[in-house]
């Protein structure tokens, strides 16, 4: 098991985001992973939000729990209490830490606020407008330090419908040349798989006022290249 992050000596102007908390050290998307990020130099902490069957909210990357837990439950088909009762595996594969449980968006927000970190929640379910309002209420009072991200751009459109000035980033696994114009029109930033980026593509976004985040960069040499290209954010499991 790792005991610490891998530090990048010079970030330049690039901000570092802890992916699912410091998931290279602690079980992802748990309070422990978020606290690990809080105690380090990260600018922001990313997590993932799903709706449960009883219309509550839980943080988990996958749509089900089997990858990080001995019990495989589908998040959207399970109750909050059933999900909360699960004991997750530590990074050594053992389920022997009683405190390693799924985290709620409210707990995640409180940890980020306590340590002065920006919340970067990914909106995973296909949320309704009422649900987006409820999620925004969770972050009320901290929305200026929150950046919502999503692959489903409809979720981001709903966020903007409720709060037009909210900072959001559109998630994309790949690049197409229409992205900068589309994002400029919507006044959204970009969060893209790192291997889809080039220096020219970052510049094309910057020329339109679009900030660029990239995921998930765990190789220091790749991170240093991206920093040299002027990427605005790097999301990583272990780099700091």
**Does position 107 have pLDDT exceeding 90, yes or no?**
yes
**Does position 1 have pLDDT exceeding 90, yes or no?**
no
Distance in angstroms (rounded) separating the CA atoms of residues 49 and 26? 18
Our count of domains for the chain comes to: 1
Mean pLDDT value across the chain: 98
Output the six-digit token pair for 231: 């990427």
Residue 223 maps to a domain:
yes
Span 187-207, mean pLDDT?
A: 98
Residue 231 maps to a domain:
yes
Do 141 and 167 meet the contact criterion of CB atoms below 8 Å apart? no
For the entire predicted model, the pTM comes to: 0.98
Residue 9's nearest CA partner among 211, 199, 227, 232 is: 227
pLDDT tens digits along 24-63:
999 999 999 999 999 999 999 999 999 999 999 999 999 9
Residue 74's DSSP bridge partners are 64
Residue 43 maps to a domain:
yes
CATH code, domain with 21: 3.20.20.190
**Does position 2 have pLDDT exceeding 90, yes or no?**
no
Query: Which residues does 28 contact at the CB level (< 8 Å), separation at least 6?
Result: 19, 20, 21, 61, 68
Distance in angstroms (rounded) separating the CA atoms of residues 119 and 100? 20
Model confidence at 180, pLDDT cuts 50, 70, 90, reads very high
Residue 194 maps to a domain:
yes
Residue 121 maps to a domain:
yes
| Domain extent for 100 | 15-236
The DSSP line for 39-102 is TTT-SEEEEEEEE-TTS-EEE-SSSBSTTTBSS--BGGGS-HHHHHTPPBP-TTS----TT--P
Residue 216 maps to a domain:
yes
Residue 7 maps to a domain:
no
Model confidence at 131, pLDDT cuts 50, 70, 90, reads very high
Residue 8 maps to a domain:
no
pLDDT tens digits along 135-160:
999 999 999 999 999 999 999 999 99
């Amino acid at each position: 098991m790792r005991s610490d992050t891998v530090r990048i000596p010079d970030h330049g102007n690039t901000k570092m985001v802890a992916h699912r908390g410091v998931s290279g050290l602690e079980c992802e998307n748990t309070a422990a992973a978020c606290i690990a990020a809080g105690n380090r130099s990260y600018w922001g902490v990313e997590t993932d939000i799903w709706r449960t069957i009883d219309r509550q909210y839980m943080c988990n990357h996958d749509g089900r729990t089997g990858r990080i837990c001995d019990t495989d439950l589908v998040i959207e088909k399970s109750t909050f209490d059933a999900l909360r009762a699960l004991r997750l595996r530590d990074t050594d594969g053992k389920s022997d830490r009683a405190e390693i449980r799924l985290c709620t968006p409210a707990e995640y927000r409180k940890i980020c606020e306590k340590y002065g970190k920006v919340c970067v929640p990914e909106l995973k379910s296909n949320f309704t407008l009422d649900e987006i309002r409820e999620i925004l209420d969770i972050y009320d009072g901290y929305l200026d330090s929150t950046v919502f991200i999503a692959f489903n751009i409809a979720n981001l459109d709903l966020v903007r419908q409720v709060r037009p000035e909210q900072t959001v980033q559109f998630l994309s696994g790949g690049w197409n040349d229409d992205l900068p114009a589309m994002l400029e029109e919507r006044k959204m930033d970009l969060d893209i798989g790192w291997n889809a980026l080039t220096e020219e593509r970052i510049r094309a976004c910057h020329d339109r006022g679009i900030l660029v985040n990239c995921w998930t960069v765990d190789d220091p040499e790749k991170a240093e290249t991206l920093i040299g290209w002027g990427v605005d954010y790097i999301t990583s499991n272990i780099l700091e």
